Amino acid sequence: MATTVTGTEQRAVRTKKGIGLGPHPPGGNGSRKNGGGGDRPRGGGGEEGERWSPERYRIGVYVGLASILMMFTALTSAYIVRAGLPTSTDWRPTAMPPVVVVSTVLIVLSSLTMTLAQRSLRRGDERPYRRWLALTLMLGLAFLGSQLMAWRQLVAQGVYLATNPHSSFFYVLTGLHGLHLAGGILGLSYLLVRAVGVTGGGEAGAKRRAVSQVVGVYWHFMDALWVFLFILLFFWR
């Protein structure tokens, strides 16, 4: 006798065999494509490789220099306004110690040696680079030493921070500049340490060139800022 299979039984058999469960059955191509990251980029080196990008170093130093510039601009404006008050009777310009001229020459020379150091690094001349960098560091330290000598000479003359408004501005402006220059000296010291045993190629060499560039920008800015302060304190009295 022929056995008649109803439609309900046929559907049950097909379901049991895994047929007709939809366009993307479990374990099919659709689940593999959307699963464990088959289409994701491998390695993850893009962001890691850009972490030491020179642009990031430049942006960081420019932001820092902008804040320093705004601070000294505000102090300079206050200095000019205070010096120009017609009713001011306590504004007595202080005789600047001659050693301040020596410190100006030292920092200008340090900017020149820093330029020569960066030029040597671009050419791949490691020994001249280290020599010019060390000379820049010594000139920077000599500048700070000459500034301390200028303060000592003022104290010997009886000129202190609170003696009069002009002396207050002199101590504040030169002190803040020396404090920020000390940050540049730390940067130069770091470059000098990195210059030992590091070749010019590879990722380490690229990072060193990037750091050298931003430290150079910072150092030249400190040089220009001091020349401006020198003119302000000596000639705008």
Q: What is the structure's pLDDT at 138?
A: 97
For residue range 61-109, list pLDDT tens digits in order. Answer: 999 999 999 999 999 999 999 888 876 677 888 888 889 999 999 999 9
Most confident of the following: 162-166, 200-204, 213-217: 213-217
Window from 19-23, 111-115, 215-219 with minimum mean pLDDT? 19-23
Instruction: Please give the full DSSP string across 43-96, using - where no structure is assigned.
Output: S-HHHHHTTT-HHHHHHHHHHHHHHHHHHHHHHHHHHHHHHT-TT-SS--PPPP
Most confident stretch, 28-42, 83-97, 221-235: 221-235
Provide the strand spans (E) within the chain.
none
Query: Which pLDDT value is given to residue 114?
Result: 96
In this predicted structure, the answer to whether residue 148 has a pLDDT above a threshold of 70 is: yes
Contacts with 219 (C-beta within 8 Å, 6 or more apart), sequence order: 110, 111, 114, 136, 140, 184, 187, 188
Centre a 10 Å sphere on the Cβ of residue 221 and count the other Cβ atoms it contains. Answer: 19
Q: What is the CATH number of domain 55-83+99-235?
A: 1.20.120.80
CA distance 93 to 166: 6
Q: What percent of the chain has pLDDT over 70?
A: 72
- What residues does each domain of the chain span? 55-83+99-235
Please state whether 23 falls in left (phi above 0), alpha (psi between -120 and 50) or beta. alpha
pLDDT at 16 over 50: no
- Global confidence as pTM: 0.74
44: left (phi over 0), alpha (psi -120 to 50) or beta: left
Given a contact cutoff of 8 angstroms between Cβ atoms, the answer to whether 194 and 89 are in contact is: no
For 6, which DSSP code? P
